[in-house]
Amino acid sequence: MKYVEEFRDSAKARALVKEIERLVAVIGPNGRPIHIMEVCGGHTHSIFRYGLEGMLPKSIELVHGPGCPVCVLPMGRVDDCVSIAQDEGVIFTTFGDAMRVPGSTKSLLQAKADGADVRMVYSPLDALAVARKNPDRQVVFFGLGFETTMPSTALTILQAEREGVENFSVFCNHITIVPTIKAILDSPDLRIDGFLGPGHVSMVIGTAPYAFISSFYKKPMVVAGFEPLDILQSIWMLLKQIAEGRCEIENQYARIVPDQGNDAALNAVNRVYELREFFEWRGLGSIDRSGVRLRKEYARFDAERKFDLPNVRIADPKSCQCGEVLKGVIKPWQCKVFGSACTPETPLGALMVSSEGACAAYYQYGGLKQSQAAE
């Protein structure tokens, strides 16, 4: 890609929409819309930002999936973060989005206001730099995200090991994408005709791990980029598969995503982490082997081993319907507290906090007005 404008060309977008309409006519009506789930929160953000949903035929329904790692963080894990941060000897470092995710009593931002030393960083290497400058304090990095961010955390731990930085540790909440998609496909109350595959995750793991989606579940997937033409072309590729009766894993984002993944990143991930038996997801419940933890060889960098954590499972507020939105059962504006009790300024659920959350994107790019018009 030389210039981003190449992927935002309105004439090309209109041509793709015309081809999408042609394929929809070929597929023909079957009594329900064609449901396409974008797994990644980055795709959800782009779809709302560029108004792509409004450009598509009404017979295509986009379903917003669980691909926002901040959004699927359960309340109990936030409470664990707050517990660590409130230790007087700790500097707790985190990405900005995670600071405002509500726990059962407070968020990290509220803990900071109450006196905890919580600092926003842009990478785990920033957190390691804080540890170097504060050798008399324990510095904890809040590691979260799918395979996209796993390598940077792993490489930072390896760097800390090489340097002998003993006051640095990671509270590991990294999660994996494949068990998540499988849990969605096994859900009895959800019908999906095809997937837009996550571009950033696939940049690390490649396309091969998704083979089960087409071979076992007989659903097509297209790994998609994040610009408007990327997403429209990926939807066209999905519809072409459906029209031709094919179920394959295709790679629209080949300029970034290698089919076999990134060897250096995968080697670091496999060296530092091991799969957990299960991991709790907000809105989705416990999913087997869907999270990772640090191997015992790196126990001295594991905040879960260093600190005594509450480790309590806490249900979301009854009024919050993040779970239904994450699974694509309802749209954000159909949540009964959307835009009223739950806003970006006063979020009840994580989907309204993260910039990749469906509720925040819907609110920011006109979803509130749209929902009010529909009432």
Q: Is the pLDDT of residue 374 over 60?
A: no
Q: Over pLDDT 90: what percentage of the chain?
A: 65
List pLDDT tens digits, range 297-345. 999 999 999 999 988 877 777 777 877 787 677 888 888 888 888 887 7
pLDDT at res. 5: 80
pLDDT at res. 101: 86
178, burial (CB in 10 Å: exposed 0-12, middle 13-18, buried 19+): middle
Q: Is the pLDDT of residue 87 over 90?
A: yes
List pLDDT tens digits, range 53-77. 999 999 999 988 877 777 788 889 9
**Helix locations, the chain, DSSP H:** 10-27, 41-49, 52-55, 75-85, 108-113, 124-133, 150-163, 177-185, 199-205, 211-215, 228-243, 263-272, 303-306, 322-326, 358-364, 367-374
Q: How many CB atoms lie within 10 A of CB 183?
A: 18
Range of lowest pLDDT (30-34, 50-54, 291-295): 30-34
Q: Is the pLDDT of residue 250 over 80?
A: yes
Q: Which domains does the chain have, with CATH numbers?
A: 75-175+291-306 (3.40.50.11740), 322-370 (no CATH)
Question: What's this model's pTM, rounded to 2 decimal places?
Answer: 0.88
135, burial (CB in 10 Å: exposed 0-12, middle 13-18, buried 19+): exposed
List pLDDT tens digits, range 345-368. 777 776 787 666 778 878 877 654
Instruction: Determine the residue type at 356.
Output: E
pLDDT at res. 375: 43
Report CA torsion sign: 255, 149, 294, 352.
negative
Q: Is the pLDDT of residue 95 over 90?
A: yes
| Rounded distance between C-alpha atoms, residue 349 and residue 71, angstroms | 8
For the segment 110-137, the average pLDDT, to the nearest whole number, is: 97
| Rounded distance between C-alpha atoms, residue 197 and residue 150, angstroms | 18
> Would you state the structure tokens that stand for residue 237, as one six-digit string?
């590729």
Parallel/antiparallel/unpaired status of strands 249-251 and 138-145: unpaired
| Rounded distance between C-alpha atoms, residue 102 and residue 106, angstroms | 6
List pLDDT tens digits, range 163-213. 999 999 999 999 999 998 998 898 877 789 999 999 999 999 999 999 999
pLDDT at res. 355: 65
Distances from the Cα of 290 to the Cαs of 72, 166, 174, 275, 293, in angstroms? 12, 28, 9, 7, 10
